[in-house]
With several copies, the nearest count.
Chain A
Amino acid sequence: MVNLAVDLNGLSLKNPVMTASGTFGFGEEYEDFINIDDLGGIVVKGTTLHHREGNPYPRMAETPSGMLNAVGLQNKGVDYFISDIYPRIKHYNTGIFVNVSGSAIEDYVATAEKINELDNIPGIELNISCPNVKEGGMAFGVHCPSAVAVTEAVRKVYKKHLMVKLSPNVTDVTEIAKAVEGAGADSLSLINTLLGMAINAEKRKPSLSTITGGLSGPCVKPVALRMVWQVYNAVKVPIVGMGGIMNANDAIEFMLAGARAIQIGTANFIDPQVTIKVIDGIKDYMHRHDINDVNDLVGGLITE
């Protein structure tokens, strides 16, 4: 029997395969396809203090090996999450993380405080990297002082696992990673979407209502892998890697580059059962390579 369990700074996941925020709803949307309890963890939709309608339609554009989205954090607010959604999903036997977003530090803090009270939510993922809303998120995540300020403020009120999600839209991701680690993050997840744009040449118009949006899918994988590798070599806290993971092979690449767990996002849209296939594929790889503990893969890249 191989060991698939990983430890995220004290928080144990039954396996390293999680789902990425905004791509997996609240888990319920995938119940017809897989058993949610088989997953290492799920990160639910970006949640803000107040209800948000998100951006106008169109919010999506297909791109070569990927897609742009400009959902803009549509959600009904944290109170609705607590009263209506949490009761429906708290029975999942998997690590449930809430992705917390905001446009002001106080909002992040107030949201995190409320989620801190929920027994069956072992952690939050602090989204300081959403490129799709003017005020929200990304502005915090691309400069050290603001990234530190929001992390520290949330750290004060949030007592459980604090994962901070980094933006790839920066000159030096290791700078931000180190700053956020110093500010009290228990783990770092990366990457959020790359800021991109698509144009309909025939109509001479942007494809998204917001002109720019967030790029995800296999097209971003090389950038994501590079950033995971850089951050792995710069910080001590565990890293949760993501960006274009479509299969077990991709997942293993992220682990070799230094990710202790991984998240699968856009791939869920292509194959709603991809997460389970990735778990099986990791086991298969471990058998073939005679690896008994999945933790042995982490950072196992041979660079001489």
Chain B
Amino acid sequence: MHDLSQGVYMSKQQILLCNYTMSKKVELLTVTKNRRINDEYVIIHAASQDKLPSIYPGQFVDIKVENGPNTFLRRPISIHEVNESKNEIILLIQEVGEGSRLIAKLSEGDSIDMIYPLGNSFTIPAKGSKALLVGGGVGVAPMLILGRILKDNGVEPFFLLGARNNKILMELDNYEKIAEVAVTTEDGSQGIKGFVTDHPLMNEDLNQMNIVYTCGPDPMMRAVAAKAKNKDIKCEVSLENLMACGIGACLCCVVDTKEGHKCTCTEGPVFDIKDLKEW
């Protein structure tokens, strides 16, 4: 359990500081489990030989895909959860191209080459706050660990998960163990029909929230951010910019902030929308 909650928001500076002193490593982990949850998604458990370093919600790993003729660069993947007792990192993988398909094919006993843990973290509000966690598609990945850590730190989380249809919706058990889960599907096959922003949680009920976190497709995050901004509620987004190095060395992954270009891989992937330009 991470005690991130000092009763106040951690400032970006504090978080960067803590990342700066946290050390990253490159390691061959061992796949201990690969479970397909539907046509598009698998959940992979990868165990480290060593004790896991501290991992903060919103952080990611960068995976070298073996034997891919067209996967020259590493693939960044959010940390979905960790199992500290087994030293396992748990990943939610959506198959979209060659790299993610090859990762999704890994089976028990296979090695998986990762650089981790990377990136900053979502901020944890004061105890007693209410937090809305909005995930769309594979963007739900960092929400699970975030929800757990919020709860551990005395914050009340609410999940709002969107999907195209119930066939590719996540299994909800793990989320339900932590908090209430609301669902929207574009075809109405489960939960409320429409986008996440059509849900009461993003409308009437939004006022109750002290903070909104979101990760998912860009248009979704922008729509969520617009609603939060409108109600003047703090909102953090997790961006999925293209990355080459993942460790702040190449400056490829920049996002336009009010203080100029910042690296999504080290100064993000989590940003407060008030710091972003054109959000």
Contacts and interface: CB of A to CB of B under 8 A. Distances in A.
A–B contact, 8 Å CB criterion (strictly below): yes
Interface of A: 22-25, 29-30, 32-33, 45, 53-54, 56-67, 69, 71, 74, 217-218, 266, 268-273
Contacts of B254: 54, 57, 59, 74
Given A22-B250, A23-B249, A29-B249, A53 B73 contact: no
Contacts of B74: 269-270
A23 B24 CA distance: 17
Contacts of B71: 62
A65 B72 CA distance: 6
B154 interface: no
Contacts of A57: 241, 253-256, 261
Please classify how large the interface on chain B is, using the bins under 10, 10 to 19, 20 to 34, 35 or more: 20 to 34
A210 to B, nearest CB: 12
9 contacts: A23-B250, A58-B241, A59-B253, A60-B242, A64-B70, A266-B244, A269-B249, A272-B115, A272-B247
Given A32-B24, A66-B72, A67-B73, A271 B249 contact: no
Contact of A25 (B24, B243, B248): B248
Given A59-B252, A74-B261, A270 B247 contact: no
Nearest to A29: B249
B247 A67 contact: no
Contacts of A45: 251
Q: Which of A60, A71, A268: most chain B CB closer than 10 A? A: A60
Contact of B242 (A22, A23, A58, A217): A58
Nearest to B25: A32
Which 5 residue pairs spanning A and B have beta carbons closest together?
A60-B252, A25-B249, A269-B245, A29-B249, A32-B23
B260 to A, nearest CB: 6
Interface in B171-200: none
A294 B272 CA distance: 45
B26 interface: yes
Chain B interface, >50% SS class: loop
Given A56-B256, A60-B250, 10 more contacts: A33-B24, A33-B25, A54-B261, A57-B254, A57-B256, A58-B241, A59-B254, A62-B73, A71-B252, A269-B246
Nearest to B20: A28
Contacts of B253: 57, 59-60
Contacts of A65: 69, 72
B253 to A, nearest CB: 7
Nearest to A56: B256
Contacts of A217: 72
Contacts of A24: 249
B45 interface: no
Given A60-B242, A64-B70, A53 B249 contact: no
Q: Which of B23, B64, B261: most chain A CB closer than 10 A? A: B261
Nearest to A57: B254
A51 B24 CA distance: 29
B260 A269 contact: no
B64 to A, nearest CB: 6
A58 B252 CA distance: 7
Contacts of B245: 23, 29, 268-269
Nearest to A265: B250
Interface string B222-259: 00000000000000000001111111111111111000
B250 A69 contact: yes
A289 to B, nearest CB: 20
Nearest to A19: B249
A39 to B, nearest CB: 14
A32 B23 CA distance: 6
Contacts of A23: 245, 249-250
Contacts of A25: 247-249
A29 B248 contact: yes
A153 B24 CA distance: 43
Contacts of A53: 260-261
B70 A268 contact: no
Contacts of A29: 245, 247-249
B24 A71 contact: no
Contacts of A54: 251, 254, 261
Interface in B88-118: 115
Interface in B10-42: 23-26
Contacts of A62: 70-73
A30 B25 contact: no
Contact of A69 (B23, B115, B244): B244
Q: Which of B64, B242, B250, B261: most chain A CB closer than 10 A? A: B250
Interface in B54-76: 64, 69-74
A60 B252 CA distance: 6
Given A53-B261, A54-B251, A60-B252, A270 B26 contact: no
